[in-house]
Amino acid sequence: MKPPHRDPLARARLLTSPSVGPAVVRELERITGRPAGPTRTTGPDGPFVYVGDALPEALRTPELLWFHSVNAGTDALLAAGPWPEGALLTRTVGRMGERIAQYTLAWVLAECQSVPEHTAQHSRSTWRRLPSELAAGRTAVVHGTGHIGSAVAGLLRACSLRTVGVSRSPRTLPAVFDRVVAAGSPEEAAALAEARWVVSTLPLTAATGHFFDEARFTAMRGATFLNVGRGATVDMAALEAALRDGTVRRAVLDVLPDEPAGPGDRAWRLPHTVITSHSAGITADEDVVTDFATCWDAVAEGRTPELAVDTRRGY
């Protein structure tokens, strides 16, 4: 996706959604050198740049030059309607990869040290020695080899885990992976069979809905499944069946197909499962400011920002 031309950008108004706090708005004004206006019920007469978490229908016009999302995921944004032709879409990643990597490592080590079992024993005032497990030397299969997947693999590899990446598109082997295999290949099935942990960092696109299906869960032989990507990439019925028959040892789900999950959601009743409230990689204000500034510099120089989203592919 090409960046907007410099002349329209120089004339563009800066608009921000109500979700963007005053401190961030002030920084956006400093970066762009222009005042920020609030969301309007009708689109501006001239070109504009919009920063926010969602794009109102009234602003999906040809005058939109660039939308910068304060979130990393853009699936909901793109699913809301046709994307304005020619409009640049960028996203906020910030230190999300680092945060999600630490979240993943925390659950890996917690399982190795029997933290859930110790916590349960404490609640019963029970004293019983529990075995521990070394993470070093075990295999973690990470689906998604982009920014977040690579951050997860890098931290796990620093703890001497063997990391196998699964990619849907050919790419150069990132140094944090011992190897990368193609999604849907016999090599992926073999990697799932030897995995101790399977981590999903996949975005939600037309190609990744229910990506983790019965076949993939059946290929796992007692692995723990962690989802820090998108909830709808998982067939929840298939996951439940795998948890009950033991092909999946346990699950840690930071995301669900329907959020927030109400008290009656079946996900709460999955066996051997912990659900966290989409909190593995919460975006900070400093992430929004830093990433917007980087994108602004690139656009001002006529370059496509690294954080640009291919609206046809969804990531």
| Both structure tokens of 304 | 């496509």
Active site positions, annotated: 230, 259, 278
Looking at residue 53, what DSSP letter applies?
S
Q: In this structure, what are the phi and psi dihedrals at residue 120, rounded to the nearest 5 degrees?
A: -65, -40
Residue 248 one-letter amino acid: V
To 10 degrees, the CA torsion angle through 269, 273, 278, 279? 130
| Distance of alpha carbon 136 from alpha carbon 114, whole angstroms | 16
H-helix or E-strand spanning residue 50: strand 48-52
| Both structure tokens of 84 | 């304005």
Residue 152 one-letter amino acid: V
Neighbours of 196 (CB within 10 A): 22
Look at phi and psi of residue 140 and say left if phi exceeds 0, alpha if psi is from -120 to 50, else beta: beta
Neighbours of 128 (CB within 10 A): 8
What string of DSSP letters covers 185-231? SHHHHHHHHH-SEEEE-PPP-TTTTT-B-HHHHHH-SSEEEEE-S-G
Please report, for residues 5, 36, 66, 112, the alpha-carbon distance to residue 90 in angstroms, rounded to integers and kept in the order given: 16, 18, 8, 38
